Amino acid sequence: MQQAIIELFQTNPQVAIMISLLLSVAISILGVVPSVFLTAANLIVFGFWGGLLLSFAGEVLGATVSFFLYRKGFKRLNDTRAFQYPKVQKLLQANQKEAFALIISLRILPFIPSGLVTFVAAVGQTTFFTFFIANMIGKIPAIVIESLSVYQLLHLSFEWKIGVTILGLGVLIYIMKKVGVVGRSS
């Protein structure tokens, strides 16, 4: 996927930035597709700082568009049974100060899906202004960490990439066993 994006950028250099931003918006709207492949492509094609800034702009733009779409399409869902769990209600009913702090803290954590944070903020009581500012502040350290990580991975030798992949798969299997997704007996 990453290589296809790089080729798309390289064959369309005059609109590569626009393509990257549109892909960021699409990834944000879908809410479950990881953006790491796009970040990697941005870093390779536009350099570290250019790729980092473009990835940041794309993440902010994508979250903004998603917020409006989710708010328009799903606002009435916050009264359904799916949102009656106490922790979800806390996020949905948070005042602006609480929502601001929650959004920043959830954006910084790399394992919390961005789409979920945007969705809950959009269907909850969070104003657009609170969401936008908190999202931008929280995305700064998140995108810097992601960009540095991707940049380092791109520059590892083949042997190290194999080792990191094996380690990552091992950690994933371990977590899945702990959560109970893998290894259940019928």
Average pLDDT, the chain: 85
Q: Tell me, what's the pLDDT at 183?
A: 59
Q: Tell me, what's the pLDDT at 14?
A: 93
| pLDDT tier at 184, thresholds 50, 70, 90 | low
- Structural element, H or E, at residue 61: helix 36-74
Q: Which of 32-36, 66-70, 109-113 has the lowest mean pLDDT?
A: 109-113
| pLDDT tier at 60, thresholds 50, 70, 90 | very high
Question: What are the phi and psi torsion angles at 131 (to 5°)?
Answer: -60, -50
Considering the chain, what percentage of its residues have pLDDT values greater than 90?
42
**By the 8 A CB rule, do 78 and 92 touch?**
yes
DSSP 109-178: -TTS-HHHHHHHHHHTT--HHHHHHHHHHHHHHHHHHHHHHHHHHHTS-HHHHHHHHHHHHHHHHHHHHH
| pLDDT tier at 39, thresholds 50, 70, 90 | very high
Q: Tell me, what's the pLDDT at 91?
A: 67
Q: Give per-residue pLDDT as tens, 142-162.
A: 899 889 888 888 887 778 778
How far apart are alpha carbons 115 and 65 in whole angstroms? 11
The radius of gyration computed from the CA coordinates of the chain, to the nearest angstrom, equals 18
Q: What is the pTM of this model?
A: 0.78
**Confidence check: pLDDT of 22 > 70:** yes
Q: Tell me, what's the pLDDT at 177?
A: 79
Tell which phi-psi region holds residue 112, choosing left (phi > 0), alpha (psi between -120 and 50) or beta. Answer: beta
